[in-house]
Amino acid sequence: MTAVTLPPASARSSARPSALRAGADYLGTVVRHLAGNPSSAFGLAVIVILIVMAVFAPLIAPQDPYLQDLQAVLQPPSAAHFFGTDEVGRDVFSRIVYGSRITLTIIALVAVVVGPIGLAVGTLAGYFGGWFDTVLMRITDIFLSFPGLILSLAFVAALGAGLENAIVAIALTSWPPIARLARAETLTLRGADYVAAAQLQGASAARIIWKQIVPMCLPSVLVRLTLSMATVILTAAGLGFLGLGAQPPLPEWGAMIAIGRRYMLESWWLVAFPGGAILCVSLAFNLIGDGLRDALDPKQRKGRH
Amino acid sequence: MRLTAPLTSAGLSAIARQAGTILVTLLGLLVLTFAIGRMMPVDPVRAIVGEEADPATYQQVYEELGMDKPVYVQFATYLGDVVRGDFGTSLRTGQPVAQDILSVMPATIELATFAILFGAGIGIPLGVWAAVRKNKPTDHVVRVVTLLGHSMPIFWTGMIGLIVFYAWLGWVGGGGRVSDFYDGMVEPRTGFLLIDSALAGDWDVFRDAVNHLVLPASILGLASLAYITRMTRSFMLDQLTQEYVTTARVKGLSKTRTIWGHAFANIRVQLVTIVALAYGGLLEGAVLIETVFSWPGFGQYMTNNMLTGDMNAVMTCVLLVGVIFITLNLLSDLLYKVFDPRTR
Amino acid sequence: MDRLMDIRDLSVTYGRGPGAMQAVRGVSFTLGRERLGIVGESGSGKSTIGRALLKLLPTATITAERMDFMGTDLVTASERRMLAIRGARISMILQDPKFSLNPVQRVGDQIAEAYAVHHRGARRAAREKALAMLEAVQIRDPERVYRLYPHEISGGMGQRVMIAMMLVPEPEVIIADEPTSALDVTVRMKVLGILDRLVRERGIGLVMISHDLNLVRNFCDRVLIMYAGQVVEALPAAELGAARHPYTRGLLAAQPHIGGDRSPLPVLRRDESWKRPLAEASA
């Protein structure tokens, strides 16, 4: 069932192909568990909608998000414009639909960068210890001594405003908690008997970390990563709102709110709908993260009875 | 309460180690702020001399600022300045950054303090209540509310609040600390409008200031409310399963007295930590809320500096935030050690 | 000997419908100014009885034909009534002072509170009583111990504090739920001796809940043997040798004694029939 070719060496266990299938099975179980619980099912549904919106944006959005219509500025929601129009007549609904692409890009890029890096830094620091660990932990401490948004702000200030820089800044602020978590897990696992057994058998550090420690860290890291995504969305929107993230005319939800602010007292729809979208997606990640935590890591029940 | 100072050699070396860690973190913080300052896309020389300056003037200012020297020398100079309390001059206002910050801080402190009073004042009882009624409808409602509070973009909530409570209902004042009418009426003695207007006996301004403080403070408090409620609930749930709670009931104490007199007494210390951390977290929200409400505080100051690329100001702001956070963390650790009889 | 408690057909049920679990089934007994031991293994329902008598089982349904305490019917007693009864008239000593004492309150204050709850406005008197009680449980230097926190005292001292706490409001009945199980063997006898003396001096009715048959046999006047929520046998402690129910006989046979024969002790074999409801009640 898998395209992975078995390596000829007998040293490698034939676990590779079945590991893939085990992984797929596992994923299936997790998804089913999430779908069973009403709150995480809702979260899952929202994320699916988000992905569908992003992928099929041209089909879903009734209009071009950049198309201005100065005859129809600041129209309240109607049949023609589900979410109304903004100050230059652009259809808010279409802008939100296209904005989902930006949101999805941000989430995907940050997750893909932060997950592996945080995991790597954390496990390496935890496993090797010594001054390596101390240095890395001091660095994460410094990063952790800031609230996320402010650190991101600082980085964006350093790099210059813009969506790409905002993503970099957010990624830079999101990896430390993951690293800390991975390190904590590694420290617990480092003393485990099966790790000692592998060491005695002559396994290299890389092999032990990759095969023994990382799989055990994965559940809690995944949970934390999912929950972090909720914050990432809020931070990205915050940066967009402050004018330091995505720049107009990009239909990023935070930036939309920033522009809509000027007219919000009369035209509430400029602000309500983009914010509502942000809320939904952030909520969805929180719900999925909580559901994942119950599914993957029942011992992490602290704080969630 | 007796405070027994750990003057043993073990105690002292622990303190020394802690101090060392803090110093290293602070140093790292300074490196970070220095790096951020140097990376900023705005040319500080150009900002001073202007666009039309000739190369000679440019070179002169360049050397004056010490930018021709190697990086580590510049860093050393920066370190020296910081230690001496010289945080440079703001490119935007032309004033010393330290002075600027001091003038905007009170507004933020006023906002944050009321926000935390709101957040903790409601959050703690709510958390206790939810824990006592675990899994009953009340608990579920509280969990939903905290989840929403956690997922909301706070600037959006602020705006919706303005739309509903100011534009539609007219219950509270709009943006700013006071209405334009009262702006500048009261002499800024402490910088805290409520205190200043009370001292001056100007109750109209006081009322107006409160009117303008209520909405941003409660919205800002919402974020901390979600966190505080959730943590309080969690702590209380842990305590309610403990045997000493049964003992209290056996003695004939009512449920209420047991909850507040015994169980709650056991989480007081943890709550102090939580509230301290939440207070720090408010800084983040303050940045956004101050923009929404045109509140002339530190948050807005910092954002403006970043938008205009005011290097000295940005570096100092970032440094200050880091220091505040580190201090709050330290303080909560300390409070924990001091007040928990088990750690003595 | 006056009758302090008269319990008839007490049942405690958790949950409702088909999944409901009966922790205690149709238990009946009386208690005078004597020591009644309730012996059973884990899950026999013995600890549940203690809490049921004080109505401290919020998630369970307590039913009984009669639960009479000196003229008051506990089944229908309101929470308000129970608040006046708990501590002042019926008290309970819990098992492990590491957990049963409030970690952030001084032990003396916890004892004083037990008195002050039932005597409003008597703060100073409560303190005096607490100190007197600390002396009564043979704690030397009561002034010093009064100010200590639970984590600063040993297990034996902690349990003596618990005894002091539960005796200071001068109740008529004390339920001791595994009072020495968490203590070192060397300390057990001493603590039991203190409890013994105090109960005897004040004419208190004691219900001693334990899994240790030998302990109960030597300490109590009468014994109830419990299995799967029911009382399978009730008899005076002195007559335990003549016990008739196979479970009791099994328990007795499994006890080691010094000077006894060296062959392996018989393993108690449980019979399913013991779980079925008993035909006759006993007291």
What pLDDT band is residue A238 in, cutting at 50, 70 and 90?
very high
Buried b (16+ CB within 10 A) or exposed e, B242-270: bbbbbbbbbbbbeeebbbeebbbebbebb
pLDDT band, very low/low/confident/very high, at A305 (cuts 50, 70, 90): very low
Q: How far apart are CA C87 and CA C110, in angstroms?
A: 13
Band (pLDDT 50/70/90 cuts) for residue B3 is: very low
Closest chain B residue by Cα to residue A282: B151
Which residues of A are less than 8 Å from B150 in CB distance? 230, 286
- Which candidate in B155, B282, B317 is best for mutational testing of the A interface (most A CBs within 10 A)? B155
Residue reference for tokens 């970690």? C103
C-alpha span between A234 and A216 (Å, rounded): 29
Residue C282: predicted pLDDT: 42
Q: According to the model, what pLDDT value does residue B11 have?
A: 67
Q: Which residues are bridge partners to C10 per DSSP?
A: C27
**What pLDDT score does A129 carry?**
83
- The confidence score (pLDDT) of residue B2 equals 42
Residue indicated by tokens 């750690």:
B343
Mean pLDDT value of segment C66-71: 91
pLDDT above 90: percentage of residues in chain B? 32
Q: Under 8 Å CB-to-CB from A305, ≥6 apart: which residues?
A: B134, B233, B234, B237
CA A64 distance to own-chain centroid: 28
In terms of Cα–Cα distance, which of A58, A229, A245, A37 is closest to A153? Answer: A245
pLDDT in tens, B51-60: 777 888 888 8
The better pLDDT of the pair A84, C172 is held by C172
CB-based contact C104 B254, cutoff 8 Å:
no
Write out pLDDT tens, residues A78-118.
888 888 888 888 888 999 999 999 999 999 999 999 999 99
User: Which of B28, B134, B287 comes nearest A149 by C-beta?
Assistant: B287
> Quick one: average pLDDT of C194-221?
91
User: CB–CB of A145 and B314 under 8 A?
Assistant: no
- Tokens matching residue B72: 């580590």
- Which residues is C39 bridged to in the sheet? C210, C225
Q: pLDDT of C236-248, one tens digit each?
A: 999 888 888 888 8
For chain B, the average pLDDT equals: 85
pLDDT band at C152, cuts 50/70/90?
Answer: very high
| pLDDT average, residue stretch B303-327 | 86
pLDDT at C278 > cutoff 70? no
Closest CA to C181 of C15, C41, C3, C10: C41
Partner B contacted by C281 (CB < 8 A):
no
Count of CB pairs separated by less than 8 Å, B with C: 75
**What ipTM was estimated for this complex?**
0.89
Q: Please, are residues A267 and A273 in contact by the beta-carbon 8 Å criterion?
A: no
Interior CA angle at C83 toward C82 and C85, to 5°? 60
User: In sequence order, what are the residues at sequence separation of 6 or more whose Cβ sits closer than 8 angstroms to the Cβ of residue A299?
Assistant: none
Residue B228 has pLDDT above 80, yes or no: yes
Distances (CA, A) of B58 to B42, B48, B92, B310: 15, 9, 19, 18
Average pLDDT over residues A246-266: 88
Round the average pLDDT of chain C to a whole number and report it.
90
Q: What is residue B116's predicted lDDT score, i.e. its pLDDT?
A: 94
pTM (two decimals): 0.83
In the structure, what pLDDT confidence band is assigned to residue A16 with cuts at 50, 70 and 90? low
Residue B158 in tokens: 């602020």
Chain A residue with minimal CA distance to B328?
A: A145
Does an H or E element contain C39, and which?
strand C35-39
Tokens of C228: 């799967």
Beta-bridged to residue C173, according to DSSP, are: C90, C205
**pLDDT tops 90 at residue A61:** no
Q: With beta carbons less than 8 A apart as the criterion, state whether C276 and C25 touch.
A: no
Under the banding of pLDDT at 50, 70 and 90, the label for residue C97 is very high
Q: How far apart, in whole angstroms, are the C-alpha atoms of residue A235 and residue B271? A: 26
pLDDT of residue B293: 92
What single DSSP character describes residue B96? B
- Asked whether at least 3 C-beta pairs link A and C within 8 Å, the reply is no
Q: Is C105 on the interface with B (CB under 8 A)?
A: yes
